Amino acid sequence: MAAVTILLSSPSVYAGPLEQSKRMHDRLAGVPGDAQTLQQMSALIEAGDAQGAAEIAMQNPAFYNVTLKQFVTPWTNEEFDVFAPLNDYTATVIGMVRDDVDFRLVLSGDILYVGDSGLGLPAYQNTNNAHYEAMEAQGVDLSSALVATSQSQVIGLPADATAGVMTTRAAAKSFFKDGTNRAMLRFTLMNHMCTDLEGLKDTSLPPDRIRQDLSRSPGGDSRIFINSCVGCHSGMDPLAQSFAYYNYEYNVDADPEGENGQIVYNRVGETDAQTGLRVQAKYWINSGNFPYGYVTQDDRWDNYWRHGSNQLLGWSEQLDGFGYGAKSMGEELASSQTFATCQVKKVFENVCLRAPQDADDRAIIDEITADFQQDGYRLKQVFAQTAEYCMGE
């Protein structure tokens, strides 16, 4: 009798098509659906087309203005603040999802989404976020207001220096500002590979590309470097070298938070006053910490994680594992199996409101990931498939 009671109390058992459509709409749009919409969805679910029902739910503007905005916004800042203002990073991801753009381009494309010029918005500026803040203040419908363009056209970066969201103004403000540009790699790994550096730690790799600023005996104890620091930096520094020509410039005295700064990139023929090369000075800071460390000369990157324990991330055999600049490095990350799986896991947690828990969950994630890769890396389809899986919960 107890077993029967448990079965009958399970939502997946008693939830009919209408209840499932309500739950699906709530999860995808974040708002209740009207009666007509729910009836349409219910009819599709009853006919065995649950993904068609999900497509209807995602036509609600709230899917873009609420669900996707809150899904993406934490990726754009170090604090993972979901309430940060709309910006070019967030808008670009939302536009890519809406338009079924190959999501691998999120780390390599010459792509940018701006507001429709007919909305009377302030023009996009490299030195402020007013364009996007005005969109949010006006409550514009992001499902129709966003227009695809290119960073090379709007921001003015050379096309071969664009790298998806990594070279948006918002990302530069958060991850190129000050520091050593390692933050851009670290937060890209967290946001798009679902792992922090600690999860990639491998002390078996050679330390030959670790920069001079990292002491080889922190606190006077070389064992800390050998057994800890080298595990992250041996793989991180060769990849972060891809950002060697980028910086976020702002007036630190008049604008300490960098609200009016802008991304800069040293083109061919442009040199930094301190390095005498295209390499930004931040790559040579604190050189006295270990003078025999690596001195960055260009933006050549190498993926040391193709060897050792991190081979398990599933690097593409179609790529060489090295290159020059952020664009090709972004392609390296986005072509990995881990990148694809990460996107599906993030959507699963967002739609199902929980982390994967059992063999069934893991199996559906593998299935959706395979479909994602085979069907043009369309993230909207991942939302639809995940919503179908969770609609009975």
Per-residue pLDDT at 4: 37
Q: Say if 307 falls within a structural domain.
A: yes
**Amino acid sitting at position 217:** S
Clarify whether residues 383 and 310 are in a common domain: no
| SS3 per residue for 22-81 | HHHHHHHHCCCCCHHHHHHHHHHHHCCCHHHHHHHHCCCHHHHHHHHHHHHHHHHCCCCC
Give the angle subtended at the CA of 339 by the CAs of 335 and 344, to the nearest 5°: 130
Residue 147: closest CA among 124, 113, 120: 113
The pTM of this model reads: 0.95
Clarify whether residues 361 and 285 are in a common domain: no
Give the angle subtended at the CA of 16 by the CAs of 10 and 19, to the nearest 5°: 90
Per-residue pLDDT at 11: 41
Q: Say if 130 falls within a structural domain.
A: yes
Tell me which of 307, 327, 347 is where a domain ends.
Answer: 327
Clarify whether residues 311 and 188 are in a common domain: yes
Clarify whether residues 86 and 110 are in a common domain: yes
Residues 261 and 250: their CA atoms lie apart, in Å, by 4
Clarify whether residues 101 and 195 are in a common domain: no
Whole domain around residue 53: which residue ranges? 2-59+338-390
Strand partners, 263: 248
Q: How many helices (H) and strands (E) does the chain have?
A: 19, 6
How many structural domains compose the chain?
3
Give phi and psi for 263, each to the nearest 5: -70, 140
Strand partners, 300: 324
Clarify whether residues 186 and 321 are in a common domain: yes
Per-residue pLDDT at 79: 98
**Amino acid sitting at position 72:** V
Give the angle subtended at the CA of 82 by the CAs of 95 and 140, to the nearest 5°: 45
Tell me which of 327, 350, 380 is where a domain ends.
Answer: 327
Clarify whether residues 54 and 80 are in a common domain: no
Block residue for tokens 């390599």: 108
Clarify whether residues 321 and 229 are in a common domain: yes
Q: Say if 171 falls within a structural domain.
A: no
pLDDT per residue, tens digit, the chain (393 aa), is: 444 333 333 344 457 999 999 999 999 999 999 999 999 999 999 999 999 999 999 999 999 999 999 999 999 999 999 999 999 999 999 999 999 999 999 999 999 999 999 999 999 999 999 999 999 999 999 999 999 999 999 999 999 999 999 999 999 999 999 999 999 999 999 999 999 999 999 999 999 999 999 999 999 999 999 999 999 999 999 999 999 999 999 999 999 999 999 999 999 999 999 999 999 999 999 999 999 999 999 999 999 999 999 999 999 999 999 999 999 999 999 999 999 999 999 999 999 999 999 999 999 999 999 999 999 999 999 999 999 999 988
Give the angle subtended at the CA of 168 by the CAs of 166 and 174, to the nearest 5°: 75
Strand partners, 211: 294
- CB within 8 Å of 372: residues ≥ 6 apart: 340, 343, 344, 378, 379, 381, 382
Give the angle subtended at the CA of 346 by the CAs of 31 and 201, to the nearest 5°: 155
Residues 138 and 115: their CA atoms lie apart, in Å, by 11
Clarify whether residues 216 and 323 are in a common domain: yes
Q: Say if 10 falls within a structural domain.
A: yes
Per-residue pLDDT at 40: 98
Clarify whether residues 152 and 215 are in a common domain: no
- Residue pair 299/328 in contact (Cβ under 8 Å)? The answer is no
Per-residue pLDDT at 267: 98
Q: Say if 272 falls within a structural domain.
A: yes
Q: Say if 232 falls within a structural domain.
A: yes
Q: Say if 169 falls within a structural domain.
A: no
Q: How far is CA 106 from the centre of its chain?
A: 7
Would you tell me the crossing angle of helices 326-334 and 182-192 to the nearest 10 degrees? 20
**Amino acid sitting at position 280:** Q
Q: Say if 170 falls within a structural domain.
A: no
Other C-beta atoms lying within 10 Å of the C-beta of residue 158 = 14
Clarify whether residues 90 and 39 are in a common domain: no
Joined together, the tokens standing for residue 128 give 């402020």
Tell me which of 161, 194, 223 is where a domain ends.
Answer: 161
Per-residue pLDDT at 311: 97
Residue 217: closest CA among 149, 294, 289: 289
Clarify whether residues 202 and 272 are in a common domain: yes
Would you tell me the crossing angle of helices 337-352 and 182-192 to the nearest 10 degrees? 60
Per-residue pLDDT at 6: 35
